[in-house]
């Protein structure tokens, strides 16, 4: 919603107001202003997927998105997945399948896979395609895929 020099967006269900001239990326805004540090920044140039969040349900690189352009949008980050003390099924699956090593890629992987599963992914190939832009430097891909596949 736009109002004068301000605009607003919704982050994990809460409305947030910001200046339309804010020059921060969404990743900077989430981490520095909202203190939502679950969204990671590695390459900072749209090449690794670590910063993936959902914008209106679609996976997007927060490092490459200007927050001021997102007025009226709904953003979901890794912090928004657990409810009432219960992990999201994807988070539980990552634990069960031992899909996290250092954990740096994990939030981006989970958000990417959530968008894919919510969007109708039904095969392992579709899941692999979904995470083709997400790099895991620990090489935990097989465990990550197993976690996502367990929810097909």
- Residue ranges that bind ligand FES, judged by CB under 6 A: 41-44, 46-51, 61, 63, 100-105, 136-138, 140
Q: How far is the CB of 39 from ligand FES (least distance, A)?
A: 9
Q: Report the nearest approach of ligand FES to the CB of residue 101 (Å).
A: 4
Nearer to ligand FES, 7 or 39 (CB): 39
Q: Closest CB to ligand FES among 19 and 45?
A: 45
Which residue lies nearer to ligand FES by CB, 49 or 80?
Answer: 49
Closest contact distance (angstroms) between CB of 42 and ligand FES is 5
Q: Which long-range contacts (CB under 8 A, 24 or more apart) does 8-16 make?
A: 8/71, 8/72, 9/67, 9/70, 9/71, 9/72, 9/73, 9/74, 9/75, 10/73, 10/74, 10/75, 11/36, 11/75, 11/76, 11/77, 11/80, 12/36, 12/75, 12/76, 12/77, 12/79, 12/80, 13/80
Report the nearest approach of ligand FES to the CB of residue 8 (Å).
Answer: 24
Nearest to 69 by CA among 111, 8, 11, 28: 8
* Residue closer to ligand FES (CB basis): 51 or 68: 51
């Amino acid at each position: 919603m736009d109002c004068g020099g301000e605009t607003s967006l919704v982050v994990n269900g809460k409305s947030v107001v910001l200046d339309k001239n804010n020059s921060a990326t969404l990743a900077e805004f989430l981490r520095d202003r909202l203190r939502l540090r679950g969204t990671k920044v590695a390459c900072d140039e749209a090449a690794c997927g670590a910063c993936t969040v959902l914008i209106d349900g679609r996976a997007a690189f927060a490092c490459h998105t200007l927050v001021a352009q997102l007025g009226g949008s709904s953003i979901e980050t890794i912090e928004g997945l657990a409810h009432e003390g219960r992990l999201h099924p994807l988070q539980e699956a990552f634990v069960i399948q031992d899909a996290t090593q250092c954990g740096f890629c994990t939030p981006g992987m989970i958000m990417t896979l959530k968008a894919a599963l919510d969007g109708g992914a039904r095969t392992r190939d579709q899941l692999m395609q979904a995470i083709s832009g997400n790099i895991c430097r620990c090489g935990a891909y097989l465990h990550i895929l197993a976690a996502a596949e367990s929810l097909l």
